[in-house]
A and B are shown apart, each in its own frame.
Chain A
């Protein structure tokens, strides 16, 4: 191809509506990432080194952006063709972390490598959705396909529940439900999932007392305000203190002293205390904005596999974000889930960027098709 042709092609690709949408989403997720760095700084502003976590998060944000561009450059065909291999590797890491992982806050969910903690369940999310899409698209719509997908999802959920990381398990389960729904699965199949979830949930509540305590604390925090109701209470107080426009950064007492893991599990409440309602609602609007634009991208993605992957991965991102926000506004009991792109944590940040990179790779079908047409015309 001549240099002129390359330049015209590049210009055509960057000016295509799909690419413009991709670039808008990239800008929005970068803004969310920066917002997160600010929130993390606020969560430790009264501590000895407030830049400790915020500085690291900025580093993860930079690396994440780079990884997103790399994942975007890899043709989606590679992900599609190697979905089972990639998924298999991710699944093995979930098993391995149970055997060789490090326990933090009562959860065996991290590999510790030279002081760096890697959470494999975070990296498994985009690959789990890829596996679900691959198998779902390969087979006909039938009850057998539902059973197969359900069994695979259960196999992925099991090691996560054993860590135990119930919050992440809920996100994986939601991913399975959304993907199966988007693949055109029957509604009554999904009803079976909900029916199966009732006894499973009851067993979990019976076996894991801490989850039961969280539930009772959530339902009636006044009953035990210094014990089970403590976290829910602190979320409510942090939101109230923030009010409309927030408190001064150096007065963010709740974020610095009371909120549990203010830089990760409670980052939304931290932002609410510092920036108030006016400064926090944009976070929700940005997440909805990203969801809406990526939804538009998915509609134009070309084929079913790409569409379902884009929408499935997007739903996992949005559901996790909404669970985190709901916990922080005392609408759901505490789950320990991070807010993607905003909460502190390299694994969460990098896996979210990789997930978006694969979404953008899937979205690039249209302009690669244009690229082929264009090249053929020129030749």
Chain B
């Protein structure tokens, strides 16, 4: 009988301890979910959300007769961000990638970034995307490349562009003169990033539509431009 009484007393003590523990947990829950909610939402959004701007593809430059002199092509590059500094891991990942991209030729472009493949063939991209969430070191990044007809005098006349925040910007010649017209108005977006700064699938949201640039039609023909050098 005495044992039963002791058991009951001690079981009640255990029960009280568990209830107090549960109350403490409920209190902590209340702190985050209601009392200090705004503070933690702001902190969370700061870590998770990123705002960005983007331009639509830079428009074309045409001659008087409508011949395209400069245009933009979009490529996707595969790169490797060396997070761990482990050569073994990099070799394993590269060997695995070679099953999808047999002609992979890694090239070190900075201290911890390797360009694995420039201009991915479109059919390989869907095969590579699932690997990005497994190997956080891998990144597929879009790259715009400005192409100009293959005449040196035309190239000089049209000028050059440079990459600026994910888009192209004219820095000399016609490209610079009509930069704003060719670029159009930038769009804005928000996106959620994971711990490794990768975009979280399905989290990209457009907050402002981008306005496409306009094609620039020159008063000169291709021949005129080519002849400018000869005249000089």
Q: How far is the CA of A298 from the CA of B11 in the complex (A)?
A: 9
When distances are taken between beta carbons in the complex, the residues of chain B under 8 Å from A230 are 195
Stretch binding the partner chain, chosen from B24-32, B112-120, B138-146, B162-170: B24-32
A182-B3 contact, Cβ under 8 Å, with A281-B26, A329-B29, A331-B24: no
Interface contact B192-A277, CB-CB below 8 Å: no
A276-B33 contact, Cβ under 8 Å, with A253-B200, A304-B3: yes
Q: How far is the CA of A265 from the CA of B39 in the complex (A)?
A: 25
Interface contact B10-A184, CB-CB below 8 Å: yes
**B1-56 at interface with A (beta carbon < 8 Å):** 3-4, 6-8, 10-15, 18-19, 21-22, 24-26, 28-30, 32-34, 36-41, 43-44, 47-48
Interface contact B203-A257, CB-CB below 8 Å: yes
Query: B28 CB to closest chain A CB, in angstroms?
Result: 4
Assess whether A244 is interfacial by the CB under 8 Å rule: yes
Q: How far is the CA of A272 from the CA of B30 in the complex (A)?
A: 11
A326-B34 contact, Cβ under 8 Å, with A258-B194, A281-B26, A298-B11: no
> A221's closest neighbor in chain B, by CB?
B43
Interface contact B3-A184, CB-CB below 8 Å: yes
Please tell me which one of the listed residues A178, A181, A253 contacts residue B203 in the complex, with CB atoms under 8 A apart.
A253
Query: B192 CB to closest chain A CB, in angstroms?
Result: 6
When distances are taken between beta carbons in the complex, the residues of chain B under 8 Å from A237 are 40-41, 43-44, 47-48
Interface contact B11-A311, CB-CB below 8 Å: yes
Interface contact B192-A326, CB-CB below 8 Å: no
Interface contact A240-B40, CB-CB below 8 Å: yes
Q: How many residues on the B side are at the interface (Cβ–Cβ under 8 A)? A: 41
Q: How many residues on the A side are at the interface (Cβ–Cβ under 8 A)? A: 47
Q: How far is the CA of A244 from the CA of B38 in the complex (A)?
A: 12
Query: A228 CB to closest chain B CB, in angstroms?
Result: 12
Interface contact A242-B33, CB-CB below 8 Å: yes
Interface contact A284-B26, CB-CB below 8 Å: yes
Interface contact A329-B22, CB-CB below 8 Å: no
Residues of A within 8 A of B (CB): 46, 178, 181-182, 184, 225-226, 230, 233, 236-237, 239-244, 253-254, 257-258, 272, 276-277, 280-281, 284, 287-288, 291-292, 295, 298-299, 304, 307-308, 311, 315, 318-319, 322, 325-326, 329-331
Residues of B within 8 A of A (CB): 3-4, 6-8, 10-15, 18-19, 21-22, 24-26, 28-30, 32-34, 36-41, 43-44, 47-48, 192, 194-195, 200-203
19 pairs of residues in contact across A and B, judged by CB atoms under 8 Å: A181-B13, A181-B14, A225-B47, A233-B47, A244-B33, A253-B48, A254-B44, A257-B203, A258-B195, A291-B18, A299-B11, A304-B3, A304-B4, A311-B14, A325-B22, A325-B25, A329-B25, A329-B29, A329-B32
5 closest residue pairs by CB, A with B? A237-B44, A240-B40, A239-B32, A329-B28, A277-B33
Instruction: List 20 other contacts, CB 8 Å, given A240-B32, A240-B41, A311-B7.
Output: A184-B7, A226-B195, A236-B43, A236-B44, A237-B43, A240-B38, A240-B40, A241-B41, A241-B44, A243-B33, A276-B33, A277-B30, A288-B22, A291-B15, A299-B8, A304-B7, A307-B7, A307-B11, A325-B22, A329-B25
